[in-house]
Amino acid sequence: MTNSAPLPSSPSVRAADEIRIGISSCLLGEAVRFDGGHKRDRFLTDTLGRFVRFVPVCPEVELGLPVPRESLRLVRSSAGTRLVGASGADHTAEMRAWAGRRCAELAQQGLSGYVLKKDSPSCGMERVRVYDANGVPSRDARGLFAEVLLESAPLLPVEEEGRLSDPVLRENFFDRVFGFQRLASFFATDWRLAELVAFHTREKLFLLAHHTESYRELGRLVARAKGLERTQLVREYGALYMRTLRHKATPGRHANVLEHMLGHFEERLDTAQRQELVALIADYRQGLVPLIVPVTLIGWLVRRHGIAYLAEQRYLTPHPKELLIRNHV
C-alpha cells in the first residue's frame, strides 16, 4: 500500500482470493472503548465477515491507554489539532508517531479496504467534533489515526461504519473494495500485456457505470501500454482505476450500461422480449425496481444465449450476491 499503486508488497502476503479489511476493533464487538464497551456492527460481523478477513486495530489501546480510560477529544490550536484527554494529557505526538508505524505495518498485510469508527477522535474519517481555544465545538475534523491512514494509503477504499447504512455509499465502498482486491491480485501475478488487456476488458462495463470519461481515459492508457515501462504502467493504471471507482455509480449510469448490454441481444430477442427488457430498465431508472432486477434478467439472458463477452463482464457479479448490495440501489 503506497502512494504510487494499490498493490500488496508481495504476492505471498495473502492468498489471491482472500480479502483483508482493516477495521476499528470496537466494530467487531471488542470491548476496547473508553467506557469499556464496544460498538459491534452486525452487518460487518455477521454478513461481510463471511467473505473477508478482518484486521482489527484500536489506536488508543495499541498506543498503551487502558480500558476503561479517560475520554479523549480533539482540540484545535495555533500549533494544529491535538488529541487531549479529559485530564489535559496531550497524546498528539505519540499518536502520530504510533499511527505512522502502524500504517507501515498495515501496508505489508495486503488490505483491500478499511472501515473506521465514526465520530472517534482517533478513527473518525470526517465531521469529527473538535474544540477551539474557548471550548466551542465544531464538526469539521478528522481523527488523528484516520488522517495518517488516508495520507499513507490514498488509493485504499476507506469508509465509516455509519455511512455504510446509506445504500449508495455502501455500494460504492464495496465496488471499490472488491475492485481493489481484483486489481491487486492481478498485479501480484507475473502478468503480460495481453493479460492486462483481458483484465481491462472484463472490467469495462463495471468501470463505465462509475465514470464515462475516466473509463475512456483508462482505455486510452491500455491502448498505449506497449510503450510504457512496466512499473509506470502499474502505477498509472492502478491509480486511474481506483479514481474511477470513487465516482458513485448512479441510476443513470447503471441504466446506460444496461442499455449498452441490451445492444448485444439485437439478433437474439424478438420485439416483445426486447420491449419488455427496455421497459424494465426504464422502471429501474425511475426507481420503481432495484438494480438487482434488470441485472438478474440480463444475466439469465446472457447465459441462455451464450454471449461470451457479456458473460465475462465483472459488472454482472462485482461482489457476493449475499451482501445484497444491489437489492437496495
The CA distance from 246 to 240, in Å, is: 10
Mean pLDDT (whole number) for 227-233: 96
Phi and psi for 287 in degrees, rounded to 5? 85, 15
Query: What is the pLDDT at residue 274?
Result: 95
The residues, ordered by sequence, that sit 6+ positions from 214 with a Cβ below 8 Å of its Cβ are 207, 240, 243, 244, 247
Q: Round the average pLDDT of the chain to a whole number and report it.
A: 94
- Average pLDDT rounded to a whole number, residues 227-241: 97
Q: Per residue in 144-196, pLDDT tens?
A: 999 999 999 999 999 999 999 999 999 999 999 999 999 999 999 999 999 99
Q: Residue 237 carries which DSSP code?
A: H
Distance CA 215, CA 219 (A): 6
Please state, in angstroms and as integers, the Cα–Cα distance from residue 253 to each residue in 54, 83, 157, 210, 216, following that order.
Answer: 32, 42, 21, 7, 14
Q: Tens digits of per-residue pLDDT, 73-132? A: 999 988 899 999 999 999 999 999 999 999 999 999 999 999 999 999 999 999 999 999
Give the pLDDT of residue 5: 42
| H-helix segments, the chain | 42, 59-62, 92-106, 144-152, 167-187, 193-208, 212-223, 230-246, 251-262, 271-285, 292-305, 308-311
Q: Are 114 and 149 in contact (CB under 8 A)?
A: yes
d(CA 11, CA 242): 20
Q: Measure CA 329 to chain center.
A: 17
Closest CA to 58 of 19, 2, 1, 116: 116
| pLDDT at residue 176 in the model | 98
Tally the residues of the chain: 329
More confident residue, 58 or 7: 58
pLDDT of 11 over the 60 cut: no
What pLDDT score was predicted for residue 13?
37
